[in-house]
């Protein structure tokens, strides 16, 4: 069963649909029911689009990854 942290960990693969079918399906099922993850995926995708770097995964540095995790955490906390 996928959890928020699984979506965060696999966000690039999720957005680019490069995960194996089973993982992708689990993440989608979770994200479909989780407002926090929906917001997270939306924000992440939008950020990548804004930067025009959707195909450049080197763009996602560990710092950005950490910031996104903090973002997700703050979203969850504010609930």
Check binding of 68 to Zn ion (CB under 5 A).
no
CB of 57 to Zn ion, least distance (A): 22
> Between residues 26 and 60, which has the closer beta carbon with respect to Zn ion?
26
Distance CA 9, CA 20 (A): 14
Check binding of 39 to Zn ion (CB under 5 A).
no
> Between residues 2 and 48, which has the closer beta carbon with respect to Zn ion?
2
> Between residues 36 and 48, which has the closer beta carbon with respect to Zn ion?
36
Check binding of 34 to Zn ion (CB under 5 A).
yes
Report the chain's C-alpha Rg in angstroms: 12
Q: What is the DSSP string of 13-71?
A: HHHTT-S-HHHHHHHHHHHHH-HHHHHHHHHHHHHHHHHT-TT-GGGS-HHHHHHHHHH
Return residues touching Zn ion (CB under 5 A): 4, 34, 36-37
């Amino acid at each position: 069963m996928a959890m928020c942290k699984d979506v965060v960990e696999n966000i690039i693969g999720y957005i680019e649909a490069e995960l194996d079918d089973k993982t992708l399906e689990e993440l989608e099922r979770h994200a479909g029911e989780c407002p926090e993850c929906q917001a997270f995926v939306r924000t992440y995708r939008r950020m990548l689009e804004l930067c025009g770097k959707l195909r450049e995964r080197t763009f996602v540095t560990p710092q950005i990854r950490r910031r996104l995790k903090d973002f997700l955490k703050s979203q969850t906390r504010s609930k």
